[in-house]
Amino acid sequence: MSRNRFTLLLLLGCLWLFVSCGSEDEVCRESTEVKLHIGFYKTGETKVSPIDSIMVVGIPGDSVFYEPTKNLSEIQLPLEFGVGVSQYAIRFNEKWDTLTVLYNSDLYFVSYACGMIYTHTIDTVLIKGQTSKGLSIPYKSVTTENVQHLQIYR
Amino acid sequence: MYNIFRYIVSLTFVLLCSNYLVSQTLETDSIVVPLWQGIELETDVVPLISNLLNDDKTFRYEVLSRVNLKNKYFPVVEVGYEGKHRELGSGIDFTGTGMFYRVGLDFNLLKSMSTQAVKNKFLLGARLGYSNFFYDISNISYIDEYKGADITGNIIGLQSKSLWFEIVGGIRIEILKNVSVGWSVRIKNQLGEPEAGAIIPWYIPGFGQTGSSVWAFNYMIGYKF
């Protein structure tokens, strides 16, 4: 290879150095919403059943997660991190039930574009009241995955 | 992992073929080239300039030592120290610092008609890279969905290690007696997968930005002993 060709290659390399530039993908394209998905069922049925009117508030405090809403068969509630327990008052039509969820929380790094999230692992769920007859926990891991974690029977 | 395997097999094939062709040419010419042809020291000149333009947490120093065996085989050791500071578009502030090391082998694809050390080289080779480094992440956000608040925090003093594989190509021209310049282009791939949810570094010294294959360019100046 002649010296001229080598010099040309050298210059091409320098040119590439100056024209090349990296592009950084810093747009968050992943879901970061971590919520407890709860479905409502009539006892003995496998298909979700809508509630005529439902309202959900946090206990204690004045956080209103659902204003009175008609015909909902599934709700999504946030779990408070750092305390290991979240309580909610759920009004089914005119009657109030109390839902208590005990869980462990872990910090999960999503990406530099999305930041971090808290994921939770359900330990125990209690429900007291006149409407709810029982519950099941099909998924104990509460992440960004869109699955029904809790099923409440009435 | 399959891609890395394919990558290594392809590289080995290319290197063996090129080496075979060069060997054939040399044998035909019946030239006996002495094994020891000297040692070269090189440094990347780009950071020497960019270090002056960046903040004091973003810098890179890199030196390379290459042994010339028979004008054909070039075992290489590279050592460097790099720091990176960047405020990302998401608001996260990343700062990382650490040493990095690379070992590998270059092949000169140009045939040599001389028993002296070659002056110009067209190199193709591979490297195994390793870095042990520290990093801090500031202003990282997470949402408290229960309270509806966006919270930011800092994670300081993280330590990590990384291993990667590189394919390197480049040229060197002797412009003065024993002094050569040239460039290298390299593609790097990390070995191993990070654990899901782990706080991976945004940048690895000697490797570059994490997440995919990294192309890099070095403009080298060196001296032959």
Q: CA of A109, closest CA in chain B: separation in Å?
A: 5
Cβ distance A1 to B110 less than 8 Å, yes or no, reads: yes
For chain B, say whether A81 makes contact (Cβ under 8 Å).
yes
Residue extents of the structural domains in chain A: 30-153
ipTM above 0.90, yes or no: no
| First CA to last CA distance, chain A | 84
The predicted structure's pLDDT at residue A126: 96
Strand, coil or helix: B99: strand
Whole-angstrom distance, CA of residue B155 vs CA of residue B103: 32
Could you give phi then psi for residue A133, rounded to 5 degrees? -105, -15
For chain A, say whether B157 makes contact (Cβ under 8 Å).
no
The predicted structure's pLDDT at residue A147: 96
For chain B, say whether A54 makes contact (Cβ under 8 Å).
no
Q: Is the peptide bond before A78 cis (omega within 30 degrees of 0)?
A: no
Residue A18 confidence (pLDDT) above 80: no
H helices of B45-103, where? Answer: 46-53
Structure token pair of residue B144: 């408290």
Q: Which residues pair with A152 in a beta bridge?
A: A40, A135
Whole-angstrom distance, CA of residue B37 vs CA of residue B203: 37
Whole-angstrom distance, CA of residue A95 vs CA of residue A14: 75
Number of domains in chain B: 1
Cβ distance A34 to B142 less than 8 Å, yes or no, reads: no
| From B145, B198, B215, residue closest to A34, measured CB to CB | B145
Among the ranges A76-80, B15-19, B210-214, which has the highest mean pLDDT value?
A76-80
| Helix, strand and coil percent figures for chain B, each rounded to 5 | 15, 60, 25
Range of the domain at B92: 2-224
What pLDDT band is residue B21 in, cutting at 50, 70 and 90?
very low
For chain A, say whether B179 makes contact (Cβ under 8 Å).
no
Structure token pair of residue B178: 């024993």
Q: Which residues pair with A6 in a beta bridge?
A: none
Compute, in degrees rounded to 10, the torsion defined by CA atoms B2, B129, B100, B79: -160
CA distances, B78 to each of B61, B122, B123 (Å): 11, 18, 15
Cβ distance B145 to A24 less than 8 Å, yes or no, reads: no
pLDDT tens for residues B135-191?
999 999 888 888 888 889 999 999 999 999 999 999 999 999 999 999 999 999 999
- What average pLDDT does chain B have? 86
The predicted structure's pLDDT at residue B163: 96
Is residue A64 within 8 A of residue A77, CB to CB? The reply is: no
pLDDT tens for residues B62-74?
999 999 998 899 9
**What number is the average pLDDT over the span B10-36?**
57
Whole-angstrom distance, CA of residue A40 vs CA of residue A151: 6
H helices of A80-119, where? Answer: none
Residue B194's domain is classified under what CATH number?
2.40.160.20
- Residue closest to B64 by CA, chosen among B131, B127, B132: B127
| From B46, B146, B173, residue closest to A79, measured CB to CB | B146
